[in-house]
Every structure is written in C-alpha cells, then in structure tokens.
Amino acid sequence: MSDAPVSDDERFRRCLEIQRRVSSERNLGRLAKVVMSEITALLGADRSTLFLFDWDTMELRADFAEGVEGRALVVPIRMGIVGTAILRREIINVSNAYASPYFNAEFDSMLGYRTESLLAAPLFGSDGRVLGGLELINHDAGHFSADDEAVMQPHAARLARLIAEGAADVAAVAAGIAAVRTQVGCDRGTLFVLEEGSGRLMAIHADGSDAGAMSLSVKLGIAGLTAVAGRSMRIAEAWDDPRFDRSVDEATGYRTRSMLCVPLKNAAGESVGVVQAINKHIGLFSEDDLATLEAVAGIVAIAIENAVMFADQERQFDSMLNVMAASIDAKDGLTAGHSNNVSLHAVAIGRELGFNREELNLLRVAAVLHDYGKIGIDDSVLKKQGRLDAAEYAHMKMHAQLSEDILTRIHFSRKYRNVAVIAASHHECLDGSGYPHGLTEREIPFMAKILTVADVFEALTADRHYRKRMSREEALEIIDAGAGTRFDRHVIAALRRSLGLPAKAAAKLDAGQGHASGAGGTASRH
C-alpha cells in the first residue's frame, strides 16, 4: 500500500496485473482477497469491500471485508418482487405472490389487501439507468399471461419516459397506470421510483387503491443503491450523505469518509455485486479513480461469474457422484458405504504418495465409482451367503467391465477423463492374472493400483455376507502376501503410513513375494 499518487503507467500495469491474477482464480474466497488488496493498493484507499449479490436471500453480502476481521457485512435489499425485477433487469411474472421468496408483504399488511398474482417490470432511462419499476397486481383471470407481459412493456417504457423527462406528475402517472390496468385487466397498478438522492424506492402512485401515494420506502445504503441503480457512486463525506448507512461504522468504531462504489454486472447487465473502496489516503477519490475502479470491476465481474459457475458445476458433479454412490449402496445394505470408504483409503494413500489436489480428486471420483458396474449384477449373486460357484464368480467378475462400459458413456470434464479406465482396472493384478483385461504391471494405471489395495483392505476390514470383518493387521497380512504379484509394494507401504502403522521389515517384505493364492476365492469378492 502506498500513499504516493500512482502514475498512469503504473495504474495500467497494475490493472493488467489484477486481470492476470483474477482470471485464473476460481475460488471465490481467494478471489475476493486478491481483488480487495489490489484495489486498496491501486487507489490508495484505506480498505475495500467486495459485496456479492445473493439471489436467494436478496442480500448483498461481504464475507471477506478487508479490515473488518471475521464478520460478514450484510445489506438486505428487501424491495420485494419489483426490486428483484429491477436488479434482474427483466419482467417478473408471479402467479402466487406469497409463495415467492422475493415477495415483500408489507404493502398488503399496510393496506389490508391480499396480493395473489403479480407482474413487475423495471423502468430504465434511455441511458440504461434504473428509474423505478411498475407493478400490476391480481389479474382478473387469476394470473398474468405472456400477452400481458407484452402489453405491459410499452406502458412501462412510456412511464419511464415521463420520469426521465421530469414530467411524472400524479395526474400523468395515474392516467398511465390506469391505461395499462384496464388493458391488462387487473386490480391494481403501482409505480415505484428510485430516488437516487435519498436511496429510496418509493411507491409514488398506486392506482386502484384508496391510498394514492404511499410512503413505504426502502433505504438501500450506498452499496445497495449502487447495486439497484446499477451505477457507480463517488462520495466525498459519507456521514453527510443521507443515503449512507452509518450502522456499520457505529458498530465497528470506524469512520468512513470518502467512498467509491462500483456495481459488478454480468453479461446480461444484472448486478452480481458491488465493489467499494473507502477513505482515500490523500484527498478524495478522483474521476480517474472511478474510471480505474470501473475498469477493474468489469474484469472482476467476469472472474466472479466464472468462480460462481465453477462452484456450481462442482456442486452439481458432486451431487451426481453421491447419487451414483447411493444407487450402488441401495443394491446391498451390507456393502453400503464401501465405495465411500474405499475413496477415503485411496485418498489417504494418494496423499502419502504426494499427489496434488487435482490428482486426489481424480482418485476420489474413480474410487467412488469403481464398483458402479455392480448395478448390473444379479442380487442372488451379489448377496449370496457363502462361496460363489464358478458360474456365479464369472458373473460377479463382469462388474469391472460393466463399470468401464457405463463410465465411458458419461461425459467427464477433462480432468476426470481417466475415471472410467482407472475405476474399471481395480481388479487387475501386476502379474496379469486379474480382470477384466488381464493387464500387467506396466499397463495398469497407477491410480488403479491404489484402488486395488484400498478396495481389498476396505473389504477385508468390513463385514460381508460370507464372513466377519478382519483386524487391520490380518488384512494387511493378506495384502502383503500379494505384494509384487497382485499389489504394488509402494502402495501397500503408503497404506501402512496412512494408517499410522510402522513400515514392514525388509526381510518380511521380500518373503511376501510368493504367490497370493491364499487370498483367492473369497478375497476377490470385495
């Protein structure tokens, strides 16, 4: 952080640096940290905050406010459905208002009225600036149609023009709302105007009710107003500004003076958040500072969209993975949890072997799905008590090939593209005696060698239909017997380390060279 004025060249260089750093960051928390520290330095400010818009709760949240340790700043934007329409910059059509998370029932309780259906449209000036919103309530037919939306649009545009031209007197507005109300066929119409001077969204006329102009308004604060209006704000002395919300300052003992607040917008023009810089060290924030922050905000908004989309994809992928694991578990209650336990062992082994995060993730996914082919194995074989006969065993062995067949049909993103081959090779043996392909040591993917050990260890140390669980030591003894023929020695050693067990003596390890036929029949059924 430097108090000296930053030259244009330096500023440009720092903007490029920010672009470089944020464009590769997909973690929201880290992204926020980078953005805030860079902006603070770039503008010579005291602190900066990154608010993200949460559409579920209709809040602007700053979970990572720099200089406000360990607390989240929350700016609620409870402007109801019309506010949501403004933020989304689109018409919102709701057939059951009380079922909508965005509905604000304050009007109803004030007027002793019940809103059922609702149609809300944002009003924009010719420069794209938010002017307010138009709301129609309770359609005669029970809900508003797409035709009604089309009818509403030109009326909303005309009302926006009235506001923009400063010609929005009560008579003109009343006539405008009455016209659209009659044409659409509904109970009530209300025009809201965003008063930028006060930061309030005011209902200036409600047609069809006796209340006329209503005093209900929502105070947004500087950050909220920036998000709603979608316009940057530069403030010299925050405490002198009626829009400023002093509650955070009062709670923290900090004194906000100068402010710069810029909206973060996605490609659709929706506000996805706000970035603000507070207290310029020398003088006030300049027009140049504003232009710089706006340029940075454009980059940051894209990075945030990417990070949010990435997190969303990860969640979707994980939920799909969980459903797939659960569907194998549902086949057989006693082996339920096997896939997950195998993945825990496999990841622990991978960690011991120095795998990085991406590699551990690939291993985890392959482990969770390794037995997915059991979905195609008959219950009579899968749940059989006692030994399998030759035909049953042959049928059972098909699950590895089935895992491969099914998993190769799933489109995995690039980092997971080897999931199918790793998962399907979990019964291959180093000496080529395994299945489904009889691969040898050099051909078996290394991660599959980890799965093999993790799979056998998990199966032996868990209860099965055909036998009781073994102790970890007994299980390791069986696995040791297959070292070098069925199992990879390094993997076994890593398993021991992951369990906190001492390494096996070298002499004993060599003795384990012999063929692991003892583990044959039953152990192969994990």
- Residue 44, Ramachandran bin (φ over 0: left; ψ between -120 and 50: alpha; else beta): left
> Least distance (Å) from Fe ion to the CB of residue 403?
8
Please, what is the minimum distance in Å from the beta carbon of residue 369 to Fe ion? 11
Stretch that binds Fe ion, among 163-171, 356-364, 370-378, 380-388 (CB under 5 A): 370-378
- Cα–Cα distance between 13 and 318 in angstroms, integer? 39
Q: Residues touching Fe ion: how many (CB under 5 A)?
A: 1
Report the C-alpha gap between 367 and 452 in whole angstroms. Answer: 10
Residue 21: CB minimum distance to Fe ion, A = 44
Shortest Cβ 148–Fe ion spacing (Å): 58
User: Residue with CB nearest Fe ion?
Assistant: 371
Q: How many CB atoms lie within 10 A of CB 517?
A: 11
Tokens of 108: 């109803």
What token pair was written down for 407? 């998993």
Tokens of 96: 């059951």
Rounded-to-integer distance, Cα 506 and Cα 39, Å: 58
Smaller CB separation from Fe ion, 289 or 371: 371
Question: Cβ of residue 409: shortest distance to Fe ion, in angstroms?
Answer: 19
Task: Give 136 or 475: the residue with its C-beta nearer to Fe ion.
Answer: 475
Say if CB 384 and CB 465 are below 8 A apart. yes
- At 194, which helix (H) or strand (E)? strand 186-195
Closest CB to Fe ion among residues 46, 371: 371
CB closer to Fe ion out of 25 and 428: 428
Query: Among residues 371 and 488, whose Cβ is nearest to Fe ion?
Result: 371
Least distance in angstroms from the C-beta of 327 to Fe ion: 16
Q: Please identify, among the stretches 18-26, 95-103, 169-177, 366-374, the one whose residues bind Fe ion according to the rule CB under 5 A.
A: 366-374
Task: Considering the complex, state which of residue 38 and residue 371 has its C-beta at the smaller distance from Fe ion.
Answer: 371
What DSSP assignment string belongs to 311-353? Answer: HHHHHHHHHHHHHHHHHHHHH-GGGTTHHHHHHHHHHHHHHHT
Which of 371, 428, 458, 480 touches Fe ion (CB under 5 A)?
Answer: 371
**Closer CB to Fe ion, 244 or 457, in the complex:** 457
Q: Which residue has the tokens 């923290």?
A: 252
Enumerate the β-bridge partners of residue 218: 201
Q: Contact between 352 and Fe ion (CB under 5 A)?
A: no
Quote the tokens at residue 304. Answer: 């945030």
Query: 120, 137, 213, 209: which is closest to 168 by C-alpha?
Result: 213
Determine the length of the chain: 526
In whole angstroms, the minimum distance from the beta carbon of 351 to Fe ion comes to 23
Only one of the segments 199-207, 350-358, 363-371, 375-383 lies at the binding site for Fe ion (rule: CB under 5 A); that segment is: 363-371
We find the least distance from the C-beta atom of residue 16 to Fe ion, in angstroms, to be 52
Query: Candidates 27-35, 89-97, 369-377, 503-511 — which segment interacts with Fe ion by CB under 5 A?
Result: 369-377
Nearest Cα to 67, choosing from 316, 198, 246, 248? 248
Residues that bind Fe ion (CB under 5 A): 371
